[in-house]
């Protein structure tokens, strides 16, 4: 068990962290039917495409600043109770726009929840704005331009999520140039639904310090060596990978092989209730299913803090809490 270990997370999509119980309460609040997306208090989806559909439907249950504050506070409080000292949440102003709330109010609501959770538990957190790949390069440029304005101090990074099998990384190079120039930290979903070539493209066209997932780099030994040599950090989400059938089971998951190859890896939950997991469970799986020692796992937590998109004073304060 890993309940005694301090934890840190770099990769969780905030709408994807909605407990089904909270989704049901939100649906009741707005008089909406959830029978197509929730059954027996679990989300209903079968593959990545239907997962995205279910995710978007859950996102549409959050309609005001207060709703988003409640979501962030709920998730971060649960994390803190599991010993988590730092969390980066992936946020999508596109969801705020779609629901008519607007991107600024969306961020303000989330930030209020983050501040409330910090006041209550001490958990530090930041937001990474994400472009949505299947909405296309122009949409992602618009999202990058919004992120580059840096309207909120808690926004410190940029990600690209969504359907990795659509478009090529090069199509998004301009969006990443915009946010790089604005000084945001960069990470990108790659090597999850697509193979090693996608990770290589991400390194070449985006030059991120981290890769979201990146686990299918294991298909190319030269690429694994490059990731280790360049000290690029992987945000690994084992439970998500099994749930989405990127790998058939934890026994064939490459976390251990990547770690042994010298790759800097971290543990993350991605969209925890969708994948029947939690950050605490990912830590437990690393320990009792994958056989990592506490020292190895503490090393992953330290890597997460080292790779976090925070100012140096905050990083040192977090390291001193480990
Ligand atoms: N696992 C995942 N991969 C890509 N995009 C996502 N958006 C939410 N979860 C995602
Ligand atoms: Zn993700």
CATH number of the domain bearing residue 228: 3.20.20.140
pLDDT confidence of residue 269: 98
User: Is 2 among the domain residues?
Assistant: no
- Per-residue pLDDT of the chain in tens (322 residues, 90 and over written 9): 999 999 999 999 999 999 999 999 999 999 999 999 999 999 999 999 999 999 999 999 999 999 999 999 999 999 999 999 999 999 999 999 999 999 999 999 999 999 999 999 999 999 999 999 999 999 999 999 999 998 899 999 999 999 999 999 999 999 999 999 999 999 999 999 999 999 999 999 999 999 999 999 999 999 999 999 999 999 999 999 999 999 999 999 999 999 999 999 999 999 999 999 999 999 999 999 999 999 999 999 999 999 999 999 999 999 999 9
What's the 115 CA to ligand 1 centre distance in angstroms? 25
Indicate which ligand has the atom closest to the C-alpha of 10: 2
Task: Assign 3-state DSSP to the chain and report helix, strand, coil percentages, each to 5.
Answer: 55, 15, 30
Q: How far apart are CA 159 and CA 128, in angstroms?
A: 6
Which pTM does this prediction carry? 0.98
Ligand 2 centre and the CA of 13: distance in Å? 6
Largest CA distance in the chain: 54
Asked if residue 67 has its Cβ within 6 Å of ligand 1, the reply is no
Is 38 strand, coil or helix?
strand
How many angstroms separate the CA atoms of 216 and 243, rounded?
Answer: 15
49, part of any domain: yes
Please report, to the nearest 10 degrees, the dihedral formed by the alpha carbons of residues 308, 179, 209, 83 taken in order: 20
Residue 1 in any domain: the answer is no
Please state the domain count of the chain.
Answer: 1
Query: Could you tell me which residues are beta bridge partners of residue 213?
Result: 190
The residues assigned a catalytic role are 192
DSSP state for residue 232 in the 8-state scheme: P
Yes or no: say if 111 and 67 are a contact pair by the CB < 8 Å rule: no
| pLDDT at residue 210, as a whole number | 98
Q: Is 249 exposed, middle or buried (0-12, 13-18, 19+ CB in 10 A)?
A: exposed
- 88 Cβ below 6 A of ligand 1: no
Q: Is 240 domain-assigned?
A: yes
Render the burial of 254-273: b for 16+ CB within 10 Å, e for the rest. bbbebbebebbbbbbbbbbb
Instruction: Give Cα 182 to chain centroid, integer Å.
Output: 21
| pLDDT of 142 | 98
Domain range holding 62? 7-321
Please give the pLDDT value at position 238.
98
Does residue 294 sit within a domain? yes
Query: Does residue 210 lie in a domain region?
Result: yes
């Amino acid at each position: 068990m890993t309940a005694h270990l301090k934890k840190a997370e770099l990769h969780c999509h905030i709408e994807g962290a909605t407990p089904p119980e909270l989704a049901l309460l939100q649906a009741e609040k707005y008089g909406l039917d959830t029978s197509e997306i929730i059954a027996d208090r679990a989300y209903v989806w079968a593959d990545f495409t239907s997962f995205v559909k279910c995710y978007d439907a859950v996102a549409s249950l959050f309609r005001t600043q207060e709703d988003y504050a409640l979501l962030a506070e709920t998730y971060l409080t649960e994390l803190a109770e599991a010993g988590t000292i730092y969390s980066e949440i992936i946020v999508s102003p596109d969801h705020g726009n779609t629901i008519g709330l607007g991107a600024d109010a969306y961020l303000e609501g989330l930030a209020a929840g983050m501040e409330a959770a910090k006041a209550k538990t001490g958990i530090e957190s930041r937001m990474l704005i994400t472009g949505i790949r299947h909405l296309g390069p122009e949409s992602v440029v618009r999202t990058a331009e919004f992120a580059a304005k840096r309207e909120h101090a808690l926004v410190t990074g940029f990600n690209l999520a969504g359907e990795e099998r659509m478009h090529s990384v090069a199509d998004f190079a301009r969006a990443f140039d915009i946010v790089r120039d604005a000084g945001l930290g960069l990470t990108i979903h790659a090597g999850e639904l697509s193979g090693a070539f996608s990770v290589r493209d991400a390194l070449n066209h985006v030059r991120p310090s981290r890769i979201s997932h990146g686990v299918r780099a294991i298909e190319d030994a030269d690429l694994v060596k490059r990731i280790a040599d360049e000290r690029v950090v992987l945000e690994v989400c084992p439970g998500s990978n099994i749930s989405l059938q990127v790998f058939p089971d934890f026994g064939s998951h490459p976390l251990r092989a990547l770690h042994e190859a010298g790759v800097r890896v971290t543990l993350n939950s991605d969209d925890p209730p969708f994948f029947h997991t939690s950050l605490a469970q990912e830590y437990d799986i690393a320990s009792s299913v994958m056989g990592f020692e506490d020292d190895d796992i503490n090393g992953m937590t330290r890597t997460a803090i080292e790779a976090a998109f925070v100012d140096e004073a905050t990083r040192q304060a977090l390291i001193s809490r480990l």
